[in-house]
Amino acid sequence: MEIFNPSLINYLENHTDNEPEALKKINRNTHLKVLKPNMLSGHYQGRLLSMLSKMMQPKLIVELGTYTGYSAICLAEGLAEGGILHTIEVNHEMEEMINSHLKLTNVEKKINVHFGAAEQIIAQNNWQNIDIVFIDADKKNNFTYFELLIDKVRSGGLLIIDNVLWKGKVYDAHQNDADTESFRKLNEQIAVDTRVEKLILPVRDGLLLIRKK
């Protein structure tokens, strides 16, 4: 189920800054070598993540779900001097590809990749005053990750959760599978959370943009 017409997507991409050459290579390599390449943030969403990061000029970013490194690289483009991005990937088999992709960029030294379960790695690291969190990992635990990190995010910081429109299923009353219900519950829980301001952006599969008060 596609939410947006391909012609609209092409128009948006053609009127957005180009992908940097390194990201073009990573995009292509992901589509050639990895199952489910649609999981990649891609050109338009990647430029949005980069723009948000550049606006925030973060010193500390935490990402859950590295995949092939594309979104981490986009977010790292906006890091302030001396800033660092910590990204967590559960699949150790992705390590070689992630490292090779990071070497294509000028932000490699700003990205620290952790392999393992996100809950454990979050518990092992005393991250505080996080500027940006990007959650794009196993979907059933989205709210768990939100709760684990919200108190570690500074006032005015952002938490971004991907895929919250879930291919359009969340607003289709005929779709009631477990994943769809999980996203509906997540969106409803965030909608009534008074600790944050929130906005769903209809970008690709839906980005939930959350600002901590």
In a domain, 197, yes or no: yes
Q: Provide the pLDDT for residue 1.
A: 53
In a domain, 186, yes or no: yes
CATH number, domain containing residue 159: 3.40.50.150
In a domain, 1, yes or no: no
Q: Which domain holds residue 55?
A: 6-212
In a domain, 30, yes or no: yes
Burial label for 186, CB within 10 Å (0-12, 13-18, 19+), is buried
* Alpha helices, DSSP H, located in the chain: 6-14, 21-33, 42-56, 70-76, 95-102, 118-124, 142-150, 178-191
Q: Provide the pLDDT for residue 191.
A: 97
Amino acid, res. 96: E
Q: What is the pTM of this model?
A: 0.95
Q: Provide the pLDDT for residue 2.
A: 64
In a domain, 94, yes or no: yes
CA–CA–CA angle 160, 15, 35 (5° rounding): 55
Q: Which two tokens stand for residue 71?
A: 């979104």
Looking at the structure of the chain, the number of domains it has is 1
Q: Provide the pLDDT for residue 36.
A: 86
Q: Provide the pLDDT for residue 119.
A: 96
In a domain, 191, yes or no: yes
For 40-90, the DSSP string reads: S-HHHHHHHHHHHHHHH--SEEEEE--TTSHHHHHHHTTPPTT-EEEEEES
Q: Which helix (H) or strand (E) holds 156?
A: strand 153-162
Full pLDDT tens readout for the chain, 213 residues: 568 888 999 999 999 999 999 999 999 999 999 988 888 999 999 999 999 999 999 999 999 999 999 999 999 999 999 999 999 999 999 999 999 999 999 999 999 999 999 999 999 999 999 999 999 999 999 999 999 999 999 999 999 999 999 999 999 999 999 999 999 999 999 999 999 999 999 998 999 999 999
In a domain, 124, yes or no: yes
In a domain, 23, yes or no: yes
- How far apart are alpha carbons 132 and 147 in whole angstroms? 14
Tens of pLDDT, residue by residue over 52-102, are 999 999 999 999 999 999 999 999 999 999 999 999 999 999 999 999 999
